[in-house]
Amino acid sequence: MASPQQRFSGYPRAREGPRTTSSYTEESNPVLRGWPLVLAAHAVTRLPFLAKLTWTNAKFGAIKDIPGLEQYGYCLHPVVTPLSTDGSEASRLEVTPELFPRQPEALAGRFYSASDYHELYKSGKLTPLQVAKALIPQISREQNGKYMSAWSETRVESVLAAAKASTDRYCQGKPLGLLDGVPIGVKEDTDVEGYTSYIGQQPDPAFAPATKSLWPVAQMEAAGAIVVGTLAMHELGSDVTGCNPRRGSPKNWYNTSYYTGGSSSGAGSALSAGLVPIAIGTDAGGSIRIPASFCGAYGLKPTLHRTYAMKSMTAPNPDDAIQNAFAPSIPPSPTAKKTLGICREWIDHASPVVRESTARAIAYFSDKLGYEIVDIHIPYLREGQWAHSAWALSEALDHLRSRLRDRAFSLINHCNQILLSVAGCTAATDMIKYSQMRALLMEHLAFLFKKHPGLLIVTPTAPEAGWKINPGDEAYGFSDGNLTIRMMTYIWLANSTGCPAVSAPIGYAEPEQGEGKLPIGLMAMGEWGAEEQLLAWAVEAEGYLNGTLEGGQSPA
């Protein structure tokens, strides 16, 4: 939550958007799998008119005639930067043990946290080297580990060297801090020195190992955290299932007959198995929050350009002028008014079991924790989602071409051949309209945040409790744009506007197939820069899960 004195760069003007009713009629994109998928990929990549027809059918051009969009400026990138109130430079936030209280030992479904590892290391009951040696056989593809599907690559020598160095520091009584020796995983689209960023693609000589770690990863390593490997992902991050026919799909250990969600699928799998307490992902269209929801984990998508994990990742980066200007995210005052915004027409499109879990959790926040519940309206919920989807696919196409040039389409799976061929049909004039829709939504959110200071907009994270696996899809993958669009019903707005959002588990559903329950996530989206407020809310959601929900937390 921004304080009254908070300064921003790029904050949108507060202007209420129009009152609209969004149509949630069922999408009509063809569902393709097996040989029909292969044939469709060959056709769409070779016949431009067919790609354009698919683009039109996906409604990517549907917003161009919306009246009034011309009143909004072009917002090509939703960068809103909370600035320090006194004009001083941002500084590294100290990571201290009281920030991470340990959960009761007898708590059901409990895995080791960063605090647990730290206490065990300090007491001498366990060493980072012992942890590393225990994990490697379980996650290594070379050793056919039980949990290898979650991982892309594990560099054994570097992991053991880092673990030994951490063990030595503890033996000398000089650990670097709470994160020293804690095992973490990093999504494979994020550079880690010595590792190759495959971005979910099949290995190819064109892909070279990174020569340095990306700044957020480097900050975690500087704090002593041990990257035990890079985490698998949906190819190119282009869908929300995690199905990857070229590399293998990570398993959801809550129920292995359901997908982990994506695109941070390896992160969801590793967390659901309790292999690491922290996984670094990326989120351009729910890629952190949907796996968190499907896998019973907590997932934070920060304000655009802010990196966030245990505070260490927010250290100012001298090479990034925007991130370096971010003011520290300050925890809300205990006396601050707490408000949840509910857009009922939006929530009503979730499945019955998700709606019921959402309603029970919201009642808890209202009745037990004193949150005021306010009804809000958000315009163009469906149209804005179409615009976000088309924009995201256009960015993915640009990234792929920049990386592989004329070999781009020869190295991606059939699903992505279709998606990116369709993305190539988006014209510059359409991108302009998408950017005006983004400006409209950002100004409307600024209006809501001004009207209700400290507002958190709460929705389900996903409208369904899980996505069923069709075993035959491991051969070629599959394309189901209808269900993809549905699963992204709630997450897209934070991506389109750059706002931070967090997903927390708040219930479970019975599965239609396989064994094990299906976690249900609740999501809160806050004002730009409100990460600490969202994390405080997630702690309260954890209290509901462990202390109020019948049966409590369900183990994977």
Residue pLDDT, tens place only, 436-484: 999 999 999 999 999 999 999 999 999 999 999 999 999 999 999 999 9
pLDDT at 328: 72
Separation of alpha carbons 545 and 298, rounded Å? 12
For residue 402, give every residue at least 6 positions away whose Cβ sits within 8 Å of its Cβ, in sequence order, or none. Answer: none
The two three-digit tokens of residue 408, written as one number: 């781009």
Measured from the Cβ of residue 548, the count of other Cβ atoms closer than 10 Å reads: 13
User: Residue 106's closest CA among 546, 550, 521?
Assistant: 546
469 φ, ψ (degrees, to nearest 5): -90, 135
Burial 286-310 (b: 16+ CB within 10 A, else e): bbbbbbbbbbbbbbbbbbbbbbbbb
Confidence of residue 86 (pLDDT cuts 50, 70, 90): low
pLDDT for 26? 77
What is the C-alpha separation between 533 and 483, in angstroms, rounded? 32
pLDDT at 88 over 70: no
Q: 385 by DSSP, 3-state: which?
A: helix
Planar angle of CA 385, 352, 542, nearest 5 degrees: 80
Architecture category of domain 33-83+332-547 in CATH: Alpha-Beta Complex (3.90)
pLDDT band at 92 (very low <50, low <70, confident <90, very high): low
Q: Report d(CA 44, CA 261) in Å as an integer.
A: 26
Contact between 396 and 426 under an 8 Å Cβ cutoff? The reply is: no
Secondary structure of 358-378 in HEC code, one letter for each residue? HHHHHHHHHHCCCCEEEECCC
Nearest to 183 by CA among 224, 142, 122: 224
Residue 374, pLDDT above cutoff 50 = yes
Task: Give me the long-range contacts of 129-135 (CB less than 8 A, separation at least 24).
Answer: 129/160, 129/163, 129/164, 129/166, 129/167, 131/163, 131/181, 131/183, 132/159, 132/160, 132/162, 132/163, 132/183, 132/226, 132/228, 133/160, 133/163, 135/183, 135/228, 135/275
CATH 3.90.1300.10, the chain: domain bounds: 33-83+332-547, 97-325
120-130: average pLDDT: 97
Report whether pLDDT(234) > 60: yes
Average pLDDT over residues 48-53: 97
Per-residue pLDDT tens for 317-345? 777 777 777 777 777 888 899 999 999 99
| Contact in structure between 493 and 521 (CB atoms under 8 Å) | no
Residue percentage of the chain with pLDDT more than 70: 94
Q: What is the mean pLDDT of residues 255-279?
A: 97
pLDDT beyond 70 at 91 = no
Give the whole-angstrom CA distance, residue 436 versus residue 343: 22
What residues does 501 pair with on adjacent strands?
Answer: 301, 525
Q: What 3 state SS string does 278-329 have?
A: EEECCCCCCCCHHHHHHCCCCEEECCCCCCCCCCHHHCCCCCCHHHHHECCC
* CB of 272 closer than 8 Å to CB of 260: yes
**Is the pLDDT assigned to residue 101 strictly greater than 90?**
no
Does residue 522 sit in helix, strand or coil? strand
State whether CATH 3.40.50.150 applies to domain 97-325: no
